[in-house]
Amino acid sequence: MCVRRALRCHTAMTTATRTDERTLAELQREHGQALLCFLHRLTLGDRQRAEDLAQETLLRAWQHPEALRSEHASIRPWLFTVARRLAIDARRQRQARPLEVGGQVLESAPVCADHAERATAVLDVRQAVGTLSPEHRAVLHQVYFRGASMAEAAEELGIPTGTVKSRAYYALRALRRVLPGYAGDLR
């Protein structure tokens, strides 16, 4: 039966430079579902992309009627080869382009401060830490800059853990007063 259809396609196309509509509709009916299933697997379940690629494959068949004049019994291998190559090209094209994002993603994206603002903030914090007593600075250095736990800071400084907690609390409180614009960041 497939051979008869191929012969009909062949006779319909001998004089045409492009595939006629009936032949293309017959190609769609005979191979469309199998082609779509094949492309659905290649696109990892993206039905819309698979449909687009199937349509592009049939467009190529329309543009190249010589493929239908093959001595082979079925055009399906040619269609699948074209479809696979189109899927590979589409995947490469997507990987070469930057990721597309919607408007909502951009609205909720955090705004990064520029380097000048960051440098200014660092200078402000250094100046504010300089106003603290040496004991408070030592605790902040151990806990926040070195990342030591309260117990480790107490052992390093040779003072009780409760004193470390108290000094850290009062040091941060003093920094909040000196740096009112940064109060939300100091916790």
**Could you state, in order of their start, the residue ranges of all structural domains in the chain?**
2-96, 116-182
Report the C-alpha gap between 110 and 94 in whole angstroms: 26
DSSP H or E run through 101: none
pLDDT at 48: 93
Nearest 5 degrees, angle CA 22-CA 23-CA 29? 90
Distance, CA of 159 to CA of 137 (rounded, Å): 14
Q: What is the pLDDT of residue 157?
A: 92
Q: Which class would CATH give 2-96?
A: mainly alpha
pLDDT digits (tens, 9 = 90+) for 95-137: 887 776 666 666 666 666 567 777 888 888 888 888 899 999 9
The yes-or-no answer to whether 2-96 and 116-182 have a common fold is no
For the question of whether the overall pTM of this predicted structure is more than 0.75, the answer is no
The CATH architecture assigned to 116-182 reads: Orthogonal Bundle (1.10)
